[in-house]
Structure 1
Amino acid sequence: MSPRGVPRRPDRPWRRFVLLLAVLLGLAGGAPGTSLDPAVVLRGAGLSEVGGDGSAISVLSTDSLASYRMPGGARRWSVRLAAGAQLLAADGTRVVLGFDDGTNRAAAVLTGLDAATGAPAWRRTGYVPAVYGCACGDGVVVAEQYVPGGDQPATTALAGIDVRTGAVRWSLGTPPGGRREVVREPGEPVRIAMLDAGGTLRLYRADTAALVSAVDLQDPGPVEGLAISADRLLVYRYGLRNIVAGTVFDLGTGRRLWQRTAEPYGERLWWCARALCARANEGPILVLDPDTGRERWRLDGWTDLSAVTERYLLATPSPPDGRHLVLDAATGRVVRRIDGWEPAGDPAGTRLLVAGRGAAGTTLVARLDVESGAVTALGQAGRWSGPPECFTTGALLLCRLDQGRIPVWRLPAA
């Protein structure tokens, strides 16, 4: 993954909210006839990660992995694991794990287990996941392959490992003096970006490594990282802590559109929806036009902006104080104020998974539509001690709570 201040859509920025109690006091339940009690509560000591599809759920704990049949929650199997495992993919055929202690990449391992039994199905040594906790392609885990150099320094190549068989579907070496990035845009297939020393940028599909496009960039200069949003490319370089120079290019033509410098101390730069956001030190967030770099609008007193959709941005304060704003991405107009809820999962269109305090201090999980403000209660779990991390799979909603609890609810029809 890219280092310090990578200008990409932040992963789960929801955890920094503080809740207010009052908004929950009159909240109605979910759809008529739908119980807010969990259908089942799974448990795992030292709970780390959860994954799966609608028929089975895999739960990774400190030293074990367990699989549960859904929706009933009966345990199918459990296996002991070495420390440091990552859960990378889980579907009806395979559960894929990565093991890397960070000291010897040549000894890192990817392994696939039979989803029905937990028995080992395949094993690959010398591969490290390129993106933490991400399968990153249709049926493929994108990994870095350690390539010993003999008398020369060791190098790495990107490889696509087939989730079902463990076979290497493809391998791409990084061009000498070049840069590479796994590109993940909401609603877009995962791609691999390769920039060579001559300034040619190539985009490849993550599932097959088929070439999608190639373009010669107009004078990219020194490059330490890159990020893509739609047909715009940001390349950047670092100073001591933050980005000190960023340049935006047209991905179709390679034409250099504009450059921004922030010497000597640098600033954060990141894509927020289809605009570029910038923030230096404790100053306001500037929302910049991606074609010209001109300031569209600015936001004072808030720390983060992240995309809900291309049309809406969500503002987060620091320190948290229970306030959240939904803003029009084009103008900065406040569309809605959200108080008393903390987003608890990635958005699905205009709908957010949110959590708050329910009756008697319990944890209430709901779906909130940022356009209409409508709130639909989905489930109620044990006592609140902080916001959970939630996701949906199939017709199920799962939330990871404290003390190794994973309540599972059946989702009402949308």
Structure 2
Amino acid sequence: MADGTSHVIELGEMPHDEKAEPLPEPRRPATPAVRVAALCGAALLTLAGAAPLAHRPPGIPVPAPQGATFAVVADRLVVADGPGTVGRGGRVVTGHRLPGGESVWQFVLPVGDHVLGLSTVADLLLVTTSPAGAGDTISTALEPASGAVRWRQAGYPVPTEAGGVLFEMPRADGTGLIRSIDLASGAARWSLPLPGNGVAYRRGARGVTEIVLVSADGRVAVHDAGSGALRHAGRVPPAADRVSYRFTQVVADLLLVDGGPGTVTAYGLDRLDRRWSIPVPPRSAAWFTDCAGVVCLHDESPGALTFDPATGRQLWSDDRWLGVTPVQDRLLAAAPAIGLEMELATLDPRTGHVLARFGRWRLGGAERSAPRQLGFRRLPDDRTLVAALDFPAGQVRFRAVLPGSWDDCVDAETALVCLRPSGGMVLWPLAG
């Protein structure tokens, strides 16, 4: 590998900008955000030409296939083939001890299976797999410390607000089951049949709070995600073709379904009272999301388009952003920069005004709504700057400069765990 470099950089924190300002930036007196950006730029220039630090701890190699998926659970690094490695023959999920990287257990998948993802529920690791090409999804609960199998359950896991998990078991026609299980034993607690439109969820900060089932004839049933009990039921207008809706989405406290041709209508989820109706683009890829208290409409085009959830009135739109993602009480926005690196900023959801700028980063991981994420920036001489980005606080904490290029990293507090594009992982010890 390279020279085993692990540079630990502590440059302090980026303060939150108290004065929202739009992009682009005309000539104006320096604001706190502009001064912060200038300081960060100076710091990066210093890093780019910095001499290596003496007595750096070497990186610790860990075997991993190209395109692996990985997670840190308690004091274990878990490594598995990722969804992009189907057909390469790898069927082993391995647990490594942190911070040393020693292999302590292995879990071997059935022949033909591949890993869809790794997740956690309560104190368990869930390995979600599926046979390549066909077959039901299976989630296996493992003890993170030992790799021992606790239980196996058909379906794809969906976490609940109360700390439990639901399993979706859809069929090709959109019907199927959703099931709740006992976390200790894996035994089924209750299940609900899915209508042809599938299932929608009302979500809290940590997971699902209500299950919303909508039939093509307009029947709506809202169930508690913990007990499965029916909370209330009612009706909305049926789908135009009596077969399926184009939209059946829950956004905050609204149920969105097709209205007339080219429109979507919002109903209050608790009473199914009609709130508003707006036109939607004819593209089949259009969808709505809860954007930190406002409603976002997305399609295949870049840009942000937001609506007032109470009235359906358009609040603002901005074509500068490739997209926006809710992060607690603000929106994370990304604009094109260099290659995979994006100019990142947080926005006020009601106005679209910039609250804080973070500079140019490529984000790691897949959870874009996480309040704290790792960012990566290429430096000269084939090095990578890694920083912890705290989006609600508007802060950047530089974590390390690593030799070479990296697909992704996880911050395990005492070490950065990083995956090479060509395969193989390295644990880079950190000094705080």
Q: TM-score when scaled to structure 1? A: 0.72
Superposition RMSD on alpha carbons, in Å? 4.2
2:426 matched to 1:403?
A: no
Distance 1:352 1:248, change over 3 A: same
Greater C-alpha Rg:
2
**Percent identity (aligned):** 25
Q: TM-score when scaled to structure 2? A: 0.69
CA deviation after TM superposition for structure 1 residue 67, in Å: 0.6
CA contact (8 A) 2:251 2:295 kept: no
> What secondary structure, in the 3-state scheme, does the structure 1 residue paired with 2:422 have?
helix
1:375 corresponds to:
396
2:80 matched to 1:45?
A: no
Which whole-Å CA distance do the structure 2 matches of 1:199 and 1:163 have between them? 32
CA deviation after TM superposition for structure 1 residue 202, in Å: 0.5
CA deviation after TM superposition for structure 1 residue 200, in Å: 2.2
Which whole-Å CA distance do the structure 2 matches of 1:93 and 1:328 have between them? 36
Which whole-Å CA distance do the structure 2 matches of 1:373 and 1:231 have between them? 28
> What secondary structure, in the 3-state scheme, does the structure 2 residue paired with 1:293 have?
coil
Q: 1:354 aligns with which of 375, 399, 404?
A: 375
Q: 2:228 aligns with which of 202, 205, 210?
A: 210
Q: Which deviations, in whole Å up to 9, do the C-alpha atoms of 1:124-153 show, x marking residues without a partner?
A: 5xx23166xx79973535231779xxxxx9
CA contact (8 A) 1:88 1:135 kept: no
Aligned length: 370
Matches within 5 A, 1:83-232: 83-90=113-120, 94-101=124-131, 104-105=134-135, 109-124=138-153, 127-129=154-156, 138-140=163-165, 142-144=167-169, 156-175=176-195, 179-182=198-201, 184=203, 186-189=205-208, 191-196=210-215, 197-205=217-225, 208-211=226-229, 213-219=231-237, 221=239, 223-232=245-254
2:287 matched to 1:269?
A: yes
Structure of higher RCO (CA pairs closer than 8 Å, 6+ residues apart) = 1
Which whole-Å CA distance do the structure 1 matches of 2:308 and 2:394 have between them? 28
CA contact (8 A) 1:141 1:162 kept: no
Q: 1:308 aligns with which of 309, 327, 336?
A: 327
CA deviation after TM superposition for structure 1 residue 38, in Å: 7.6
> What secondary structure, in the 3-state scheme, does the structure 1 residue paired with 2:221 have?
strand
2:316 corresponds to:
297
2:106 matched to 1:78?
A: yes
Distance 1:109 1:369, change over 3 A: closer
CA contact (8 A) 1:313 1:328 kept: no
> What secondary structure, in the 3-state scheme, does the structure 1 residue paired with 2:312 have?
coil
Which whole-Å CA distance do the structure 2 matches of 1:114 and 1:349 have between them? 25
Distance 1:118 1:359, change over 3 A: same
CA deviation after TM superposition for structure 1 residue 164, in Å: 4.4
Structure 1: 5+ residue stretches without partners = 1-19, 148-152
Which whole-Å CA distance do the structure 2 matches of 1:364 and 1:268 have between them? 36
Which whole-Å CA distance do the structure 2 matches of 1:121 and 1:41 have between them? 30
Which whole-Å CA distance do the structure 2 matches of 1:36 and 1:268 have between them? 50
Q: Which stretch of structure 1 is more off in the superposition, 35-44 or 192-201?
A: 35-44
Write the letter of the residue equivalent to 1:143: E
CA deviation after TM superposition for structure 1 residue 60, in Å: 0.7
Structure 2: 5+ residue stretches without partners = 1-39, 82-89
CA contact (8 A) 2:202 2:253 kept: no
Which whole-Å CA distance do the structure 2 matches of 1:95 and 1:355 have between them? 27
Which whole-Å CA distance do the structure 2 matches of 1:369 and 1:114 have between them? 31
Write the letter of the residue equivalent to 1:297: W
1:7 corresponds to:
none
CA deviation after TM superposition for structure 1 residue 331, in Å: 0.9
Which whole-Å CA distance do the structure 2 matches of 1:40 and 1:348 have between them? 30
